[in-house]
Chains A and B, each alone.
Chain A
Amino acid sequence: MWKWFHQLASPPHFFRLASVLIPWLAWPGYALIAYGTFAGLFVAPPDYQQSDAFRIIYVHVPAAYLSMMAYMIMAIAGGIGLIWRMKLAHAVAASAAPIGASFTFLALASGSVWGRPMWGTWWEWGDPRLMSELLMLFLYIGYMALRSAIDDTTKADKASAVLALVGAVNVPVIHYSVEWWSSLHQGATLIREGGPAMDAAMLYPLLANILGFSLVFGALLLRRVRSEVLRREGRTRWVRELVLAPGDSA
């Protein structure tokens, strides 16, 4: 039963698998984003209260969702790396951090641009949703800083995995912050009792963009893990064979 798990952990096997998967994730992802963005900007009706300003949702929500998803991947991969001493899992965690940090920044920036006309403020210190998301950006930055501060890869893997696991407590706090405390940020629209509180013509482009962003995120992550694996395994025979093998597209 654990065969696939151990196979996946083998760097050459993973490298080949990732090379096959990347285009299958990226191209459907681009297509979904193209549809979602076009339909979101031109087909979906304006919102009854926010009119056209609501359309920032087509960037903001996928970015915010992936900022949390990337963190969970980073924390879980770090945990697997600690428990099973799997180097590949650490490579996944290290690769997820910069992408997750970028999505976190995108979520904060797009929310701020929207907040100025709608709420009447760019930023509100003390708002639980804004604070917990900002804390996650700092966790990502701290994670990357910690990794780059430790030269020995094995030590960096362990220390940063512990930091990622500690910070994982923040992820459910972000999600539930609008329920647990009074916040300027509105409650959840998609994941709520009674189904999404959104017109279908607005909803489908949003779902397409969320799925599209996720697929492109997967492709980006695999690309980064691939180069991380090459960097770590630079002295091994399979990398040498891979580099020297003529005509083998990898």
Chain B
Amino acid sequence: MKPRQQRMLAVGLAVAGLAVAAALTLKAFRENMMFFVSVSDVVAGNYPSERNFRVGGLVLDGSIEREEGSLDVRFVVTDLRCELPVMYTGVLPDLFREGQGVVAHGRMRSDVFVADEVLAKHDENYMAPEVAESMASHVEEQTATLRENGADCEVAG
């Protein structure tokens, strides 16, 4: 084997080995690297009870209730299987609206998620307002799907 081929082999093996090591590490930390927990997991009881965590889902259509004269807001997040009521006091981001993906940070107090921070997560679709209007029915469709599949939700207990 020529020295150049030896070096090629060494570099190739080193990079391949590193890739495998990185893949295994990332796989092992997969749970911890989740930025947020899904609504189904929270409802099923799979969440850290002793510390704050983040929950991600869609704001359920028609669930936003604002308290007159304060920044208190209540809404329901859903992953189209389960629903979770959320309480929050503060300013909401511009993108916060019904049907929008949100990530709330806080902890569970009995059956309500009390958030100290609500972030909006937007999707990968970019379109003009006119186009979006013609597609506006998708939020209602999602909600209808949720109602149909509501029985699939596993509740902790």
Task: Judge if B94 is at the interface, Cβ distance under 8 Å.
Answer: yes
Least CB distance from B124 to A in Å reads: 4
Complex CA–CA separation, A190 to B116 (angstroms): 34
Q: Which of A47-83 contact B (CB under 8 A)?
A: 47-50, 53-54, 57, 79, 82-83
Least CB distance from B140 to A in Å reads: 16
- Chain B, residues 1-44, CB within 8 Å of chain A (1/0): the string is 00010011001001100110010001000100111101000000
Taking a contact as CB atoms under 8 Å apart, the answer to whether A181 and B33 are in contact is yes
- Chain B, residues 120-133, CB within 8 Å of chain A (1/0): the string is 11111111111111
Note all chain B residues with C-beta closer than 8 A to A184.
35, 103, 119, 121
How many of chain B's residues touch chain A, expressed as a range? 35 or more
Among B34, B91, B95, B103, which residue has its beta carbon within 8 angstroms of that of A118?
B95
Note all chain B residues with C-beta closer than 8 A to A201.
128
Complex CA–CA separation, A83 to B120 (angstroms): 47
Task: Judge if B76 is at the interface, Cβ distance under 8 Å.
Answer: no
Note all chain B residues with C-beta closer than 8 A to A168.
15
Task: Judge if B58 is at the interface, Cβ distance under 8 Å.
Answer: no
Least CB distance from A201 to B in Å reads: 7
Taking a contact as CB atoms under 8 Å apart, the answer to whether B22 and A173 are in contact is yes
Main SS at interface, chain B: mixed
Residues of A within 8 Å of B, CB-based: how many?
43
Q: Which of B121-153 contact A (CB under 8 A)?
A: 121-133
Do A187 and B15 form a contact, CB below 8 Å, given A117-B93, A124-B35?
no
Taking a contact as CB atoms under 8 Å apart, the answer to whether B34 and A182 are in contact is yes
Taking a contact as CB atoms under 8 Å apart, the answer to whether A199 and B126 are in contact is yes
Among B7, B93, B96, which residue has its beta carbon within 8 angstroms of that of A82?
B7
Least CB distance from A85 to B in Å reads: 8
- How many contacts A-B (CB < 8 Å)? 118
Complex CA–CA separation, A85 to B4 (angstroms): 8
Note all chain B residues with C-beta closer than 8 A to A118.
93-95, 120, 122
Among B19, B38, B129, which residue has its beta carbon within 8 angstroms of that of A46?
B129
Task: Judge if B64 is at the interface, Cβ distance under 8 Å.
Answer: no
Taking a contact as CB atoms under 8 Å apart, the answer to whether A186 and B127 are in contact is no
Taking a contact as CB atoms under 8 Å apart, the answer to whether B128 and A182 are in contact is no
- Chain A, residues 76-115, CB within 8 Å of chain B (1/0): the string is 0001001111000000000000000000000000000000
Do A119 and B7 form a contact, CB below 8 Å, given A49-B132, A124-B35?
no
Taking a contact as CB atoms under 8 Å apart, the answer to whether B126 and A47 are in contact is yes
Taking a contact as CB atoms under 8 Å apart, the answer to whether A182 and B131 are in contact is no
Taking a contact as CB atoms under 8 Å apart, the answer to whether A189 and B126 are in contact is yes
Taking a contact as CB atoms under 8 Å apart, the answer to whether A117 and B94 are in contact is yes
Taking a contact as CB atoms under 8 Å apart, the answer to whether B4 and A79 are in contact is no
Complex CA–CA separation, A117 to B122 (angstroms): 12
Least CB distance from A216 to B in Å reads: 24
Task: Judge if B118 is at the interface, Cβ distance under 8 Å.
Answer: yes
Among B14, B100, B125, B131, which residue has its beta carbon within 8 angstroms of that of A165?
B14
Closest 9 pairs (CB-CB, A-B): A120-B93, A48-B132, A45-B128, A198-B126, A187-B124, A189-B124, A169-B22, A197-B125, A186-B124
Given A47-B128, A166-B18, A182-B36; 5 other pairs, CB 8 A cutoff: A83-B4, A118-B95, A118-B122, A197-B124, A202-B126
- What is A's interface to B at a CB cutoff of 8 Å? 45-50, 53-54, 57, 79, 82-85, 117-121, 124, 126-128, 165-166, 168-169, 173, 180-184, 186-189, 192, 197-199, 201-202
